[in-house]
Structure 1
Amino acid sequence: MKIAVTGLRGIPGVMGGVETHCEEMLPRVKHIAPDAEIMVFARAPYMRESRYAYRGIDVIAVPSPKSVSLEAIVSTFNAILAARRAGADIVHIHAIGPALLAPMARILGLRVIVTHHGEDYNRAKWGRFARTMLKLGERFGTGWAHQVIAVSPSLAARLRAKFPGAASRITYIPNGAPELPVGATGTLARLGVAPQGYLLAVGRLVPEKGLHDLIDAHALAGDPRKIVIAGGADHASPYSRALLERASESVIFAGLQDRANLRALYENAALFVMPSYHEGLPIAALEAASCATPMLLSDIQPNRDLGLPVAHYFPVGDVKALAVALGRSADEFAVDAASLRRRFDWEAIARSTSEVYRAAAA
């Protein structure tokens, strides 16, 4: 069985939830089904070479502009053509923007799987036309795919209600809580922070991550701890530039960090804060949980799908409520890391995904 995967920038070490999902899941699928040939068609601007192997996965560059509005659809178009030329049996499309091309893949004779990672049309960065196209991608992906994967239970329920004709083809398979690698040294010293002396946020510098709310709440609370924000902006924007201008001695933009350095940051943070307005099933929160980092999250449904006690959530967009929460003891935000790892286990996720592949190929 030949499986082509598209819709992501690339793997490994590329910032993004879809990218982390594929980096964790695909090698495990390969281990379960060693006879399967898995090809990731990645976007050329994000790749270090035109072709290489990663843990048994063949990673192949396809032409793509580095453009916030064009790269997903152009790279997916090229990936589907490349998959057809390579003799793929299945094309696995990640995210609803690339899913606009699910009909094309079907017409070319490919079996199609779409993973819905979240309602991207709710992202603040998109205008009316882009949101319309994303909603159409959701409709095309759900309607034309042989199998659909939703990464959160609430998302799966909404899709079944919205597209009842596709309900039997929609499967809930979550993101997982990974065990990040050890071995980073000097991470905190390079950033000028001390263990338990900082709040940590991890994510791209885009409006829907709500990082501006965290900075505002931190100032309002007079919190003596520093903020460390790990992540960057794929595409410079007025928002990202304005956010970076708020850097100070107490607000540290750490940029993109590798997984070992992220582990060091999670394990030494006083509190992980996710003030997002939009998520799928948040991988950064699952990483924090896996490291047993105390967690405070906005109360959007994808965050609540993690199943933490109510005290771990604050009303999304409410800076005053977030400031009050920052004044509480970090002990109140402790998490049961072992329980979360059992519930969001990448090995089980890979087994479930392998079953979807078999169902799509049947």
Structure 2
Amino acid sequence: MHVAMVTSYYPPSTGGMERFVYQLTQRLRARGIKVTVFTGDHFGRTNLSDVVQLRTRAVLLGNPLVPSLFKLSFDSYDILHAHDEHALTSNAVAFVKKEKPFVMHCHGSFSGGSFAWKMFVEFYMHTLGKFTISKADATVALCPTEARQLANYGAKNIRIIPNALNPDEVNLKADPEIFRTRYNLKGKRIVLFVGRLIPLKGAQLIPKIASDFNDDVVFAVVGDGPLRAKLLQEIKERKLKNVISTGRIDSQTLFSAYNACELVIVPSTSEGIPAVVLEAILFGKPLVCSDLPNIRDYFENVCSFAKPGDAKSFAQKVSEVLKKPPQDSQLELAKELVFERFNWKRVIQDVLDIYKEVVNK
């Protein structure tokens, strides 16, 4: 079986979808499936094998335009597997698929975002998006809420497959004192943010949230990105002593940070099922998250939900969780769910089952 995996972003780009597609590709190959990845060149050149990088002519609202995809022939492939129903690369696959089996893999883009983004999504999904998913022989949704939304736009044969991680790669016994000592946080109550410093992830809210707390509650911002300079400037202007920005840290220090913190904060305005949520649950940590359906569908019992983009709402929820965290039994049930449902063995088998079905249809 030969799969054409089409994605708008891929490593060395570092977002969640590209990491998922990379892991999916590698694990399918390990199961004997031949996979060729088709993507653009707007994020840099990759030296990975079996990756075809096509010329990106423009990037519109983060969406790369790769017109040569419309000219490609996929006649030699058994399955076309495209990622992100809002991507122009997925639109191209829908146009050129002919009779080839086509799997449309959605990544949670319905949830959250600005008013303008929501209006764009609504218009797009009634036009080009509806056309794209109507051409799919199977559609993958992250969660039940997204599956219902996709059905409203005409998606058929919808399967729910969440994101995944490999628990074996996570050191749950990492020493919390490594992080505390490195950043002089002994005796502090730590609220942890992990993610890229871009508007979508909401790190710009952290100084406003932190200003409602005394210095014994420290907000640790782990990650890098274009907003870091602005974040550091606001910390300085507000004279905040309870916010630190670590930049990127190695994995063992990150695992130490999870064990050192009391809760994890996820103030994103739009999300799929981010790795930080799954990792926090593996470490037995409660979360304060933006109220987004992809997270609520699975982890309502261990997440406290705040209004997206509202610093006061987040401050209130953080205060509540610090005073009264979820019961250990609830955290343990969530951890069991992550081990059982959000693991690569299960995800790969689900994808292979879809491949078998659409090929034999």
Common topology (TM > 0.5): yes
Q: 2:319 aligns with which of 327, 346, 350?
A: 327
**8 Å Cα contact 1:125-1:207 kept in structure 2:** no
Q: Give the TM-score taking structure 1 as reference length.
A: 0.79
Range with greater deviation from structure 2 (18-27 or 116-125): 116-125
Q: Which residue matches 2:139?
A: 148
| Contiguous gaps of at least 5 residues in structure 2 | none
**8 Å Cα contact 2:188-2:218 kept in structure 1:** no
Mapped partners of 1:90, 1:231: distance in 2:
36
Higher RCO (CA-CA < 8 Å; seq separation 6+): 1
Distance 1:315 1:125, change over 3 A: closer
Distance 1:30 1:314, change over 3 A: same
Query: 1:220 Cα shift?
Result: 1.6
Distance 1:310 1:225, change over 3 A: closer
Look up the equivalent residue of 1:90 and give its one-letter code: I
Range with greater deviation from structure 2 (344-353 or 223-232): 223-232
Look up the equivalent residue of 2:306 and give its one-letter code: F
Q: Aligned with 1:284: secondary structure? A: helix
Q: Aligned with 1:204: secondary structure? A: coil
Query: 1:354 Cα shift?
Result: 1.0
Range with greater deviation from structure 2 (268-277 or 303-312): 303-312
Q: What are the equivalent positions in structure 2 for 1:164-203 lying under 5 Å apart? A: 166-167=155-156, 169-179=157-167, 180-182=169-171, 193=185, 197-203=189-195
CA RMSD in angstroms, aligned pairs only: 3.5
Q: Which residue matches 1:123?
A: 113
Q: Which residue matches 1:96?
A: 85
Mapped partners of 1:81, 1:245: distance in 2:
47
Distance 1:214 1:161, change over 3 A: same
2:276 is the alignment partner of 1:278: no
Q: Aligned with 1:312: secondary structure? A: strand
| Contiguous gaps of at least 5 residues in structure 1 | none
Q: Aligned with 2:348: secondary structure? A: helix
Mapped partners of 2:84, 2:101: distance in 1:
17
Q: Which residue matches 1:361?
A: 359
Mapped partners of 2:192, 2:228: distance in 1:
18
Query: 1:151 Cα shift?
Result: 0.9
Mapped partners of 2:73, 2:182: distance in 1:
43
2:234 is the alignment partner of 1:246: yes
Q: What are the equivalent positions in structure 2 for 1:1-362 lying under 5 Å apart? A: 1-11=1-11, 14-31=13-30, 33-34=31-32, 36-47=33-44, 49=46, 51-53=47-49, 58-64=50-56, 67=59, 69=61, 72-74=64-66, 77-78=67-68, 84=74, 87-98=76-87, 99-107=90-98, 110-119=100-109, 123-124=113-114, 131=121, 132-133=123-124, 136-163=127-154, 166-167=155-156, 169-179=157-167, 180-182=169-171, 193=185, 197-222=189-214, 224-233=216-225, 236=226, 242-248=230-236, 249-257=241-249, 259-309=251-301, 312-328=304-320, 329=322, 332-333=325-326, 335-336=331-332, 337-362=335-360
Q: Aligned with 1:149: secondary structure? A: strand
**8 Å Cα contact 1:152-1:173 kept in structure 2:** yes
Distance 1:275 1:39, change over 3 A: same
